[in-house]
């Protein structure tokens, strides 16, 4: 659907691709961001928009000469990776459980980390710049190395999927792990201190910002780009292991070439040109969707996911949603649903079916089909996927 302009009084308008009215807290959050003097042109809200910290998850904010670290978020560079393999559904028969067990043994989840650091991780060029990162993370280099190639927790996942033509896809969702979180926390703290010292009357303390040209801005921007690179490479490392395990089961260990590979952030900031001007674009729970950009829009652990190609919609700052978006909080999901509900809603999926993942039940998320319908002017669907194996962090 085309966007609608929200009926709220703000210096800059808010354009929404959601098909529902925002709640009072969501409206307040949108108003707070759109009231900041450095926000450029308008704020764009994606179809999966919901409450975040400081800025809404599912929002795209372009700014001039300033950036808000909390609007980027603490999982810097969080995003998705997917590859289309030459394998077909028939080759998976009878092998799903063992594939899941092998993946769980090879890729640490939650707070776990790798016991050994593999050569490809040690050779990552980003380690050369580690000593230039914020002083608050200098003790974490060893931990960051051990966590490279690990999934994390929450809504992060690994999935084996099938498309409508029964081709096998490998997909995963992860970010910059503890190192990205700690970098973000340190910089958010600095921004809040600067706002306090300057006497800034911000509508929300989490909208504290750095001004371009200052040392604090330069330091944050450097660390932000580093963490985004870490997150992308983290997904590459996991996908390489993932691919080897599937090849072991389906091709006798023989290496295969992906038919398509996509690796995209959905929590990040970049310098871009929009409406003829240089701006900083913060996508918090949104994927870049310029013309010909490939992206990934996952559903819940029991729903469809989509590989998409961008249409370059200018009003959205060439963006699209990053998923279905939560319909209810994790705590509410645990109170509303039972283990029997989880088993029913994940029928046909090889996955954990215990109370530890109850907060990720499909019913806690918005219907992905409606989210996709709302952004037909932002992306075209390249492939529709449905998971047959799902591993949650």
Contact 337, 364 (CB under 8 A): yes
In the residue annotation, 274 being an active-site residue is answered as no
The Cα–Cα gap between 79 and 231 comes to: 8
Token pair for 128: 């050369």
H and E: helices and strands count for the chain:
10, 18
Rounded (10°) CA dihedral 341, 346, 352, 356? -40
Strand pairing report for 57-63 and 39-50? antiparallel
Contact between residue 392 and residue 156 where contact means Cβ atoms under 8 Å apart: yes
Q: For the chain, give percent helix, strand, coil, nearest 5.
A: 40, 30, 35
The beta strand positions in 137-203, using DSSP E, are 157-163, 167-174
Strand pairing report for 14-16 and 66-67: unpaired
Nearest to 331 by CA among 359, 355, 354: 359
Name the one residue in this structure whose structure tokens are 């914020």.
134
The CA-atom distances, in angstroms, between 31 and each of 11, 39, 294 are 9, 12, 31
Residue linked to tokens 């409606």: 370
Burial code (b: 16+ CB inside 10 Å, e: under 16) for 268-298 equals: bbeeeebeeeebbbbbbbbbbbeeebbbbbb
User: Helix, strand, or coil here: 342?
Assistant: helix
Catalytic residues: 322
């Amino acid at each position: 659907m085309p966007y609608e302009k929200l009926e709220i009084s703000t210096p800059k308008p808010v354009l929404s691709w959601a098909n529902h009215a925002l709640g009072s807290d969501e409206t307040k959050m949108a108003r707070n961001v759109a009231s900041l003097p450095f926000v450029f042109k308008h704020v764009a809200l994606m179809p999966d928009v919901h409450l975040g910290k400081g800025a809404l998850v599912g929002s795209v904010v372009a700014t001039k000469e300033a950036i808000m670290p909390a609007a980027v978020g603490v999982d810097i560079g969080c995003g998705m990776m997917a590859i289309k393999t030459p394998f077909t559904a028939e080759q998976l028969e009878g092998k799903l459980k063992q594939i899941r067990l092998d993946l769980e043994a090879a890729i640490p989840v939650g707070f776990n980390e790798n016991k050994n650091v593999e050569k490809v991780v040690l050779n990552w060029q980003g380690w050369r710049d580690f000593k230039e990162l914020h002083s608050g993370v200098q003790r974490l280099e060893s931990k960051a190395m051990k966590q490279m190639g690990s999934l994390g927790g929450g809504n992060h996942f690994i999935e084996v999927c099938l498309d409508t033509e029964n081709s096998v896809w490998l997909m995963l969702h992860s970010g910059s792990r503890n190192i990205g979180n700690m970098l973000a926390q340190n910089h958010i703290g600095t921004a809040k201190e600067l706002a306090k010292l300057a006497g800034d009357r911000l509508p929300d303390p989490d909208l504290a910002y750095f001004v371009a040209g200052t040392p604090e801005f330069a330091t944050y921007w450097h660390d932000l780009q580093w963490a985004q690179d870490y997150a992308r490479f983290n997904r590459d490392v996991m996908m390489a292991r993932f691919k080897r395990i599937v090849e072991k089961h389906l091709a006798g260990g023989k290496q295969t070439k992906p038919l398509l590979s996509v690796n995209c952030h959905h929590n990040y900031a970049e310098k871009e040109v929009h409406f003829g001007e240089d701006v900083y674009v913060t996508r918090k729970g949104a994927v870049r969707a310029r013309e010909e950009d490939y992206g990934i829009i996952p559903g819940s652990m029991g729903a469809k996911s989509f590989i998409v190609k961008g249409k370059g919609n200018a009003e959205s700052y060439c963006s699209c949603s990053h998923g279905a978006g939560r319909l209810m909080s994790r705590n509410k999901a645990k109170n509303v649903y039972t283990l029997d509900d989880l088993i029913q809603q994940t029928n046909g999926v090889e996955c954990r079916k215990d109370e530890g993942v109850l907060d990720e039940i499909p019913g806690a998320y918005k219907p992905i089909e409606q989210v996709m319908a709302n952004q037909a002017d932002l992306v075209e669907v390249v492939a529709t996927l449905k998971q047959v194996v799902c591993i949650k962090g």
